[in-house]
Amino acid sequence: SGTSIPESWGDLYVNVVLNVKQYVENDEYNYYVTHDNLVGIIKYTGTKGTLTIDQIDGKDVYYIGSNAFRELDRVQAVTIGPKVVEIGDYAFADCRNLKELYISKGIEKIGYYAFSNSYDKNVYYDGTIEDWCLMDLSDSDASNPAHGSRLYFSKDGKYEQVREIII
């Protein structure tokens, strides 16, 4: 744990774009904390296979960084909490054992290739098809967490599998 920001990030990017006040490394994550006390995950370093990404050290997670979980075969099930608004490029790419993914309605953007090579999973989304269609999926099939998977939407408190979408 610490308060210094890695030099490689560059002062302008860290202070203006990210609004970072602290950089922290704990047993499970490398992350930064903004001046608004929100967390951005840089890298998952833990050993758990089932994760709920909601809060870290009592602070809400709002961003999952690029490559944060990339190539982590130990990751099998992930629940992304309601305060997370963005998933970075390649964030869960090559997580070949990822079989269950729960996404809250709060997600606004999913980066390029965020779920590439992590197929054959069940994707559960807490919103409607209309909400799903408003999400920025970065113009790539591999960004779409449902690509090559089974997609379920929440309806009346239960998940129903999407079998066909007609536009």
Render 54-97 in DSSP notation, one character per residue. Answer: SEETTEEEEEE-TTTTTT-TT--EEEE-TT--EE-TTTTTT-TT
Dist CA 147 CA 93 (whole Å):
12
Binned at pLDDT 50, 70 and 90, residue 17 comes out as low
Which residues share a beta bridge with 136? 109
Give the residue-averaged pLDDT of 38-64.
96
**Residue found under tokens 């997600």:** 107
> For 94-135, what is each residue's pLDDT tens digit?
999 999 999 999 999 998 889 888 878 899 999 888 888 888
pLDDT value of residue 16? 46
CB-based contacts of 85, cutoff 8 Å, min separation 6: 62, 63, 106, 107, 108, 109
pLDDT value of residue 19? 78
Amino acid at 86: E
70, 95 Cβ separation under 8 angstroms:
yes
pLDDT value of residue 57? 95
Q: Could you tell me the two tokens for 12?
A: 């302008």
Binned at pLDDT 50, 70 and 90, residue 7 comes out as low
**Residue found under tokens 């309601």:** 82
> For 132-165, what is each residue's pLDDT tens digit?
888 888 766 555 676 668 888 888 889 988 887 6
The answer on pLDDT for 10 being more than 70 is no
Dist CA 117 CA 14 (whole Å):
31
pLDDT value of residue 128? 85
Give the residue-averaged pLDDT of 25-37.
93
Rg (CA), the chain: 16
135, 108 Cβ separation under 8 angstroms:
yes
For the entire predicted model, the pTM comes to 0.84
> For 53-82, what is each residue's pLDDT tens digit?
999 999 999 999 999 999 999 999 999 999
